Amino acid sequence: MGSSLLKWLGALVALWLGAMAQAQDFTAVARLDHAQSVIRERGAGVELRLALSQGVPWRVFTLAAPERLVLDFREVDWQGAGAALAVETDRVRGLRMGQIRPGWSRMVVDLAGPHVFEQAAMEVDAQSGTALLHVRLGAEDAARFSATAGVPEGPGWEGAAPSAVPAPPERDGTAPLRVMIDPGHGGIDPGAEVDGIAEKDLMLVLARELREALLRAGGFEVWLTREGDEFVSLEGRVAQAHRVGAEVFLSLHADALSDLRARGASIYTLADSASDEASAALAERHDRADILAGVDLRGTDDVVADVLMDLARQETQPRAEALAQTLIESFRAGGIPLLSRPMRHAGFSVLKAPDIPSVLIETGFLSNARDRRHLSDPAWRAELVAVLTGALRTWQRADRARAALLRQ
Ligand SMILES: [Zn+2]
């Protein structure tokens, strides 16, 4: 790590705290004033001037291969900014902006060459509260660029992050629980296929039945990650959950195992290392489906800052574990057959929303004759759906009671 990076990180901490002190309301969303914003040449480098309706926490860093400048904000409304923002230099090839996770906005500037980061500052007008972010990149220098590129894990962002992680929406005990149901696979990716039954079709049927049951029971708002036989990337499924502000994410599956005797339901939560070989293989197979379907998985890691994700997960993961536990207890009490050691974990990409308790439910295995018979039987599925509905209700009560305790 070059000394220049350390120096600007240091500068950034000071600037960031400065912005914190000056801005009035950090929970509000800043708007980009495109008319007052510009990206242009300056000497041998590039200059960005972004005018915002108010000061917000921010950070800047560069990434190599390909060379990019990344600006993170909490939070900027980019509406219409892409087309309207003036780019007056061919040293910038492209511009993307959008939400990277709830409460966090990002702008990615594609650079034509390794223009080295020089300085960044946000000035907040004491009178109007408007803010101007000024970023300067210097001349091209491949060696210096690669030495300083990377997502900073410096004390500025990391130290400030705990308060910056968006709190779960404040909801009283009577508000409906927002549930995202994810019917596994779809479209080009059929999932398991046995005896003319495709996992993707069966899971869509089950997801619709579960939605209907939850809506009939009342107290739930329900979304599906897909409504038809279409392909949705794993990342896209998680993004949809974020978009609707889901409070819980249930991914429904009925995969096939090479061991045809394996049968019964199991619940998976996210972990860096898998609980067993079969779980690892399942997670790997689900990720491979995304690659085969043409999703570019490179660079997904820099979509969200790891540090922020870890912080959110510390809060979310125990809630997901509690949900998995409740589901297993409910399955047991409701007579839904379980796999031996039904609570498992693995690195499923679809469970990676850092701030939404997420579980993957293997409702059974299509490779097993009994499970296949169960899952194809509407009466059996109705029992499963009733148990799932009850389990969600039980978990919601416990989860909100816990949240209320934490608030006191
Ligand atoms: Zn599956």
Name the phi and psi angles at 168, rounded to 5: -60, 145
Check whether residue 110 and residue 253 sit in a common domain.
Answer: no
Stretch among 19-23, 78-82, 321-325 having the lowest mean pLDDT? 19-23
| Cα 203 to ligand 1 centre (Å) | 9
Which of these ranges, 52-66, 78-92, 252-266, 302-316, has the smallest mean pLDDT? Answer: 302-316
Whether 271 and 126 map to the same domain: the answer is no
The mean-pLDDT minimum among 25-34, 289-298, 379-388 falls in 289-298
Q: Do 268 and 196 sit in the same domain of this protein?
A: yes
What is the pLDDT, as a whole number, of residue 168?
46
Q: What is the mean pLDDT of residues 266-282?
A: 84
Rg of the chain, C-alpha, whole Å: 24
Residue 301 has pLDDT above 60, yes or no: no
Together in a domain, 24 and 78: yes
Classify residue 161: in a domain, yes or no.
no
Q: Which of 157-166, 205-214, 231-240, 262-271 has the lowest mean pLDDT?
A: 157-166
Q: Quick check: 342 pLDDT over 80?
A: yes
20-31 average pLDDT score: 56
Note whether residue 333 is domain-resident. yes
Instruction: Tell me what percent of the residues of the chain surpass a pLDDT of 90.
Output: 42
Together in a domain, 130 and 217: no
Domain check: are 356 and 217 in the same one? yes
Give the C-alpha separation, 197 to 3, whole Å. 60
- State the average pLDDT over residues 74-88: 75
Q: Closest by alpha carbon to 25, among 52, 51, 61?
A: 52
Lowest mean pLDDT among 6-15, 129-138, 373-382: 6-15
Q: Are residues 86 and 116 both part of a single domain? A: yes
pLDDT range class, residue 255, cuts 50, 70, 90: very high
pLDDT at 359: 93
* Ligand 1 centroid from CA 254, angstroms: 6
| Structure-model confidence comparison of residues 34 and 376, the more confident one | 376
* pLDDT at res. 304: 41
Cα(84) to ligand 1 centroid in Å equals 43
Q: What pLDDT score was predicted for residue 309?
A: 56
Residue 168 lies in a domain: no
- Of 113-122, 137-146, 282-291, the one with minimum mean pLDDT is 282-291
pLDDT at position 51, please? 93
Task: Answer with the one of 96, 125, 156 that is the final residue of a domain.
Answer: 156
Report how far ligand 1's centroid is from the alpha carbon of 316 (Å): 23
Query: How many angstroms is it from 347 CA to the middle of ligand 1?
Result: 14
Q: 24 and 149 share a domain?
A: yes
Stretch 377-396: mean pLDDT: 97
Distance (angstroms) between ligand 1 centre and the Cα of 333 equals 25
CA of 251 to the centre of ligand 1 (A): 9
CA of 192 to the centre of ligand 1 (A): 7
**CA of residue 253 to ligand 1 center, whole Å:** 4
One domain for residues 86 and 217: no
Beta bridge partners of 250: 181, 359
What pLDDT is attached to residue 110? 87
170 within some domain: no
Q: How confident is the model at residue 101 (pLDDT cuts 50, 70, 90)?
A: low
Average pLDDT, the chain: 81
For the chain, first and last CA: distance in Å? 43
Distance 361 CA to ligand 1 centre (A): 9
Whether residues 219 and 337 fall in one domain: yes
- Alpha carbon of 219 to ligand 1 centroid (Å): 28
Report the pLDDT value the prediction gives residue 353, as an integer from 0 to 100: 79
pLDDT of residue 97: 75
pLDDT, average across residues 28-37: 86
- pLDDT (average), residues 169-190: 82
Q: How far is the CA of 271 from the centre of ligand 1 (A)?
A: 18
Domain that holds residue 56: 3-156
- Is the same domain home to 215 and 95? no
172: in domain = no
How far is ligand 1, taken at its centre, from the CA of residue 273, in Å?
19
Average of pLDDT values for 374-380?
Answer: 97
Q: Residue 374: which CATH number? A: 3.40.630.40
Asked whether residue 117 is domain-assigned, the answer is yes
Band (18; pLDDT cuts 50, 70, 90): very low
Instruction: Compute, in angstroms, the gap from residue 405 CA to the centroid of ligand 1.
Output: 37
Look at residue 102 and tell me whether its pLDDT is greater than 90. Answer: no
Output the domain CATH number for residue 94.
2.60.40.3500
The number of domains in the chain is 2
Q: Are residues 239 and 342 in the same domain?
A: yes
Q: pLDDT by residue (tens digit) across 309-330?
A: 565 667 788 899 999 999 999 9
- Look at residue 209 and tell me if it is in a domain: yes
